[in-house]
Chain A
Amino acid sequence: MRKVILGVLICMFACGAAFAADDVIRIGFFNSLTGQNAFGGQLELEGVQLAMKEIPEIIGKKVELVIVDNKSDKVESANAVTRLIENDKVSAIIGSYGSSLTMAGSEVAEVGRVPLLTTSSTNPLVTQDKKFTFRACFIDPQQGAGAATYAIRTLGYKKAALLVDVANDYSVGLAAFFRNSFVKLGGEIVSDMRYNSGDQDFTAQLTEIISKEPDVVLLPAYFAEGAIILKQARELGAKFRFMGGDAMDNPEMVTLAGEAIEGFIYTGFAYAPDMPDMNPVAAKFTELWKKEYPGKETNANAALGYDCYMMYVDAITRAGSADPEKIRDALEATKDLPTVTGVTTLDADHNPQKDIGILEIKDGKKTFVGTVVPEM
């Protein structure tokens, strides 16, 4: 009998915890806080937390952020979103860094009917034909085409090689869009090499690429692998230029790659703490960041984390409710919202149109070179 009473008490307590707090809006955050994407995930979290500190209450309710780590793993990602929806009953979800991870999570969110807003997943499939999935960043076709446009129009390159992570949706997607645009603009792809996520030895692929003498090699890698690839390429005597995508944008990248990263060019979200002509939101973000995390450099991921939270603030305010379906409808109608990475208007596919930033590593420092309008 005692056991039964105890059981009932535990049940009541558990249910009470889940339903009691009606004056709270729970926003779930799932991202890679450990594992190979941890740098990006951490920065995005800090961006979200910065925004939350600025606006801790929406429509008179206190916001509670429920943070779950997906360990840079697809299965963990799906588990994380299941937990947020079933266990924590969140109204809205932010995450994740990494298209593969976000897609794993969004499958669950679509079924659970809770809006999921991704910070920096740029693969078009992430939001394609999805009802509850949205994004705050540009998509890979624009980014890949932006890199190709810059390589041909500005740098005058003719021959390109690709070194692609075949186990990664982002990498495959970005390479395909670069190839399309590069060939269309009159360039030639001389080598197309592949590797798998987690590989650490790239000497075979690089030796093959070097023998084809390209002007530029597109490396749509994540920075931890990208840095190792750059190092090995220099050890093998590679002279060509490397270009990459936003996944290479990370303050630690230079530490990992050392001198090998000099001259590396990559496309990224149109935000950098040192960029000229900052919009007012970006200026404010930069200032807040400096106050909150003195001595720590910010980047576009942190900015997108901030933007995601602000997009929800806007949507929830317009919806006037913490109901996931209503938030979804309001989020879909996001229009002309000034954000750090440009003015955000979501199109029919839930994607914003944003400029592509071009960044280069000069003297061991990330330098914002300018923006480019991609020729697709």
Chain B
Amino acid sequence: MNFSMFLQHFTNALGLGSMYGLIAIGYTMVYGILRLINFAHGDIFMLGAYFVFFATIQYKIPWALGLVIAVLGATACGLLVDRIAYRPLRDAPRISALISAIGVSFFIENASIVAFTGVPRNVIQPKLLMEPFALGTVRLIPLSLMVPVISFVLAAGLLWVIYRTKQGLAMRSISHDIETTRLMGVSVDKTIALTFAIGSALAAVAGIMWALRYPKVEPLMGMMPGFKAFIAAVFGGVGSVAGAMLGGLSLGFIEIMSVAFFPKLSGYRDAFAFVLLIVILLVKPTGLLGEKLEDKI
């Protein structure tokens, strides 16, 4: 492999990895605060993509406005999921909430098949973002530069919310002890709702970016990316926002580079990624940036 090819692989990996990271930060935030693996995350991701499809293509709303509508719509769905499926189980054993999450995920997927049909739809990409250009020998589309930037900005913003605002303080304290937080006069339900709202908005942004990069939407499109992002979150240390970003990037790089260096084994791309994940977890069970279980956010 020559250097220019390596650079091409590198940019490909950066684009894919930051996409995983973007989905993973929403996953990991909800987990960090509630200790709940929100399996519906991938489905909110899918809904975000569908909303942008409907807004811009079906109803011809301008792109910028469509994005806002899609994010708001997906956020509303996330809040609804929390209200209906998680809030009644707040004091139930954790496993009940987990089962509820899986149920919600299946429900959203199948309801979407009924509502949107299983037929994949084409998302029209704004030409501005898609026109390929060459940077030296590396070919790029503007979108694949945008995704890492957006991912990093959102991750930084999220860290700011969690560590620099009062709401963030409330979130962190919920992650330590819900009961005591309630006694301190914090509205726990509102704070958790806010957590879901932010998580869903992040999922929606990721869904929209994904639909632009891989331009088709279908009801089950959230499954695999959601799954991979979950792995990325665990890989980076579940609960840690920076870890999720790092985990996503690592997963992207492992996937792409395994094909780049071992082209004969390209069919085992996912296997490579997951074997390495197992090895890392064996060596460091809390993930790359994971700390003691109590301190995670």
Contact = CB atoms under 8 A, between A and B. Distances in A.
Interface of A: 32-36, 38-39, 42, 71-72, 164, 166, 191-196, 198-201, 203-205, 207-208, 211, 224, 227-228, 231, 234-237, 252, 255-256
A203 B16 CA distance: 9
B266 interface: yes
Given A39-B119, A237-B134, A256-B120, A204 B266 contact: yes
A207 B12 contact: yes
Contact of A205 (B16, B216, B266): B266
B15 interface: yes
A204 B214 contact: no
A259 to B, nearest CB: 10
Contacts of A71: 113, 118
B259 interface: yes
Contacts, number: 106
B235 to A, nearest CB: 18
Given A196-B270, A203-B12, A72 B118 contact: yes
27 contacts: A32-B118, A33-B118, A34-B113, A34-B117, A35-B218, A39-B120, A42-B119, A191-B263, A193-B259, A193-B266, A196-B269, A200-B210, A201-B12, A201-B214, A203-B256, A204-B255, A205-B263, A207-B5, A207-B9, A211-B5, A224-B120, A224-B218, A227-B216, A235-B130, A235-B139, A236-B8, A256-B216
Contacts of A205: 259, 263, 266
B216 A228 contact: yes
A224 B216 CA distance: 8
Contacts of B84: none
A240 to B, nearest CB: 15
Contacts of B119: 34, 38-39, 42, 252
Contacts of A35: 118, 218, 220
A319 B216 CA distance: 47
B134 A201 contact: no
Nearest to B252: A201
A235 B132 contact: yes
Nearest to B134: A237
A191 B5 CA distance: 16
Q: Which 9 A-B pairs have the closest CB atoms?
A: A34-B118, A194-B267, A204-B259, A203-B12, A166-B267, A200-B214, A204-B256, A38-B118, A194-B266
Name the prevailing secondary structure of the B interface residues.
helix
Contacts of A195: 266-267, 269
A204 to B, nearest CB: 4
Contact of A36 (B120, B225, B263, B269): B120
B266 A228 contact: no
Contact of A228 (B5, B132, B215): B215
Nearest to A172: B267
Interface string B199-242: 00000000000100011101110001100000000000000000
Contacts of B270: 196
Contacts of B266: 193-195, 204-205, 208
B102 interface: no
Given A33-B118, A203-B16, A196 B220 contact: no
B122 interface: yes
B3 to A, nearest CB: 12
A72 B117 CA distance: 13
Interface string B9-45: 1001101100000000000000000000000000000
Given A205-B259, A207-B12, A231 B118 contact: no
A195 B141 CA distance: 22
A71 B223 CA distance: 15
Given A203-B256, A207-B12, A256 B267 contact: no
B98 interface: no
A231 B212 CA distance: 12
B260 interface: yes
Contacts of A32: 118
Given A201-B214, A256-B216, A207 B118 contact: no
Contacts of A193: 259, 263, 266
A353 B149 CA distance: 55
Contacts of B12: 201, 203-204, 207
Nearest to B143: A235
A34 B255 CA distance: 29
A86 B119 CA distance: 29
